[in-house]
Amino acid sequence: MSDSTSEDQAENLDIPDNLHYSQEHAWVDDSVSPALIGITEYAANQLGDVVFLDLPEVGTKLQAGDEVVELESAKAVQPLVSPVAGIVRYVNRDASDDPSVINSDPYGEGWILKVELEDDEPDLLTSEQYAKLTR
């Protein structure tokens, strides 16, 4: 794939303004409690069609930087690195049953975890900062 095609795809990515992002391509919606966590459209595109995800147990304590979920596609196996510290309160069993939702709706039905945050000020990127990272 040529660089110009990659740049065109990056410029057309959906990067919602209301979310925060990690450099490892996870998103966090901390406007709700518990906070929602998933992977970005950029990460979903890079990974390809997700066919399996290995979710943690509810109640698992996370530290920012922990590899918390394993996402498997035809191309690769990639961990979701937790962008925040907290306790897993819910896992998206629907996404586990039908992982394609992570590719088709990464910011909606494709959420992966709901986490009760322990850090009120996680070190995350704004949508503008994340957009620059993906270009």
| Cis preceding linkage at 34, omega within 30 | yes
Kindly report, residue by residue over 47-93, the tens digit of the pLDDT: 999 999 999 999 999 999 999 999 999 889 999 999 999 999 999 99
Name the burial class of residue 68, with classes exposed (0-12), middle (13-18) and buried (19+) by CB atoms within 10 angstroms of its CB. buried
Q: What pLDDT score was predicted for residue 7?
A: 44
Mean pLDDT of the chain: 90
Kindly report, residue by residue over 99-113, the tens digit of the pLDDT: 999 999 999 999 999
Domains and CATH numbers, the chain: 3-120 (2.40.50.100)
Calculate ∠ Cα 64-68-73, nearest 5°.
130
